[in-house]
Amino acid sequence: IHSDKWCVRYRAELEDKYNRRLAITTELKRALASQQNELSMVYQPKIDLVTMKVCSMEALIRWNSSALGFVPPDEFITIAEQAGLIEQVTSWVMKQTISDLAYFREKGYDFTVAMNLSTQDIQNKVLLSNLVSLLTEKGLSPDALELEITESDLVADASLAIENLNELTARGFHFAIDDFGTGYSSLAYLKNLPVKTIKIDKSFILSLASDENDQQIVHTVLSLAAVFNLKVVAEGVEDLASLTILKDWGCDVAQGYYISRPLKLADLEEWLQNTPF
Ligand code: C2E
Ligand code: CA
Ligand code: CA
Ligand code: CA
């Protein structure tokens, strides 16, 4: 009896999950095809810990669905990958981000913009060559852009991903390894990849000021990164104490709510005018 009940509940849960997934797939397709502006980009500043000034902005997608309300990117990006929609999502992100990057340059800002790419994107030659064309159209150089990829993406299908990485690096693009510390790769492994930057995952940074384990991990990563000549970004910096530790230990760049939450373009311009950074 007990297991029957469990079974019913489990089936109901599966059904809920299935329905949610289906709704997201259907609505995302609609959002991509329509002109209703359900999708948008927000930008989160990163600061250089030597100059304490803004050096880059991470572009993050937002989806405010008329049918489903706000859907978090972690949720719909994963579903888009599985439903064969990620190419369309990334194409949309690329167009919007590069157009915003051109706007930042027009306004005289010289920070770089970091864009997130999914596993499948770095194996998609058409998509990547569109990226080059979009930049060329706007008269922008590839070094204005940073591409963030997760380490698991490289382990999954090493050969093609690495080939594309090398090709794009030769064209002047820069790659950063996102969520560093959550996957399997080591810094020694990264040495053989055309990667200049690692982003320490926010799970190690959020409680940095109070958690000795996190301090040990972050300190080790920073020392090793120095040996391998890698630039280190810490994400998830939520307080001054963590920021100070990172600065003292030679971390290069910080990003997090202490500096700013991700902002839409209009709010970002206002923030840039008033920030001490
Ligand atoms: P991510 O690339 O690791 O992005 C960092 C996430 O941490 C963002 O969540 C950001 O809002 C959040 N964050 C930044 N600072 C803090 C902080 O101080 N504290 C806390 N608690 N969180 C902080 P978001 O925007 O919800 O994005 C989640 C994930 O969705 C991203 O993780 C990325 O994997 C994916 N994503 C977002 N936008 C895109 C996109 O345009 N393309 C792709 N492929 N993936 C995207
Ligand atoms: Ca990222
Ligand atoms: Ca991350
Ligand atoms: Ca992530």
Residue 150 forms beta bridges with which residues?
178
Rounded distance between C-alpha atoms, residue 68 and residue 173, angstroms = 36
If you measure from the C-alpha of residue 150 to the centroid of ligand 4, how many angstroms do you get, rounded to a whole number?
Answer: 7
Per-residue model confidence as pLDDT tens digits over 230-264? 999 999 999 999 999 999 999 999 999 999 999 99
The tokens for 60 are: 């993050």
Reference 115, options 136, 99, 126; nearest CA is 99
Task: Answer whether 151's CB lies under 8 Å from 183's CB.
Answer: yes
72 lines ligand 1 (CB under 6 A): yes
Task: Give the sign of the dihedral formed by CA 201, CA 111, CA 274, CA 73.
Answer: negative
pLDDT digits (tens, 9 = 90+) for 107-146: 999 999 999 999 889 989 999 999 999 999 999 999 999 9
Task: For residue range 55-105, list pLDDT tens digits in order.
Answer: 999 999 999 999 999 999 999 999 999 999 999 999 999 999 999 999 999
pLDDT for residue 2: 64
Per-residue pLDDT tens over the stretch 202-226: 999 999 999 999 999 999 999 999 9
Q: Which of 155, 161, 148, 56 lies closest to 110 in space, CA to CA? A: 56
- Please state the pTM of the whole predicted model: 0.95
105 CA to centre of ligand 3 in angstroms = 26
* Residue whose tokens read 């579903």: 79
**Ligand 1 site, residue 269, Cβ cutoff 6 A:** no
Ligand 1 centroid–CA 60 distance in Å is: 6
Could you tell me the end-to-end alpha-carbon distance of the chain, in angstroms, rounded to an integer? 62
Does residue 152 register a pLDDT over 80?
A: no
For ligand 1, mutation pick of 60, 118, 131, 257 (most atoms within 8 Å of CB): 60
What ipTM does this complex have?
A: 0.98
CA of 54 to the centre of ligand 2 (A): 17
Beta bridge partners of 198: 177, 232
Q: How would residue 155 be classed by pLDDT, with cut points 50, 70 and 90?
A: low
User: Given this model, what pLDDT does residue 119 score?
Assistant: 80
Per-residue pLDDT, 158: 64
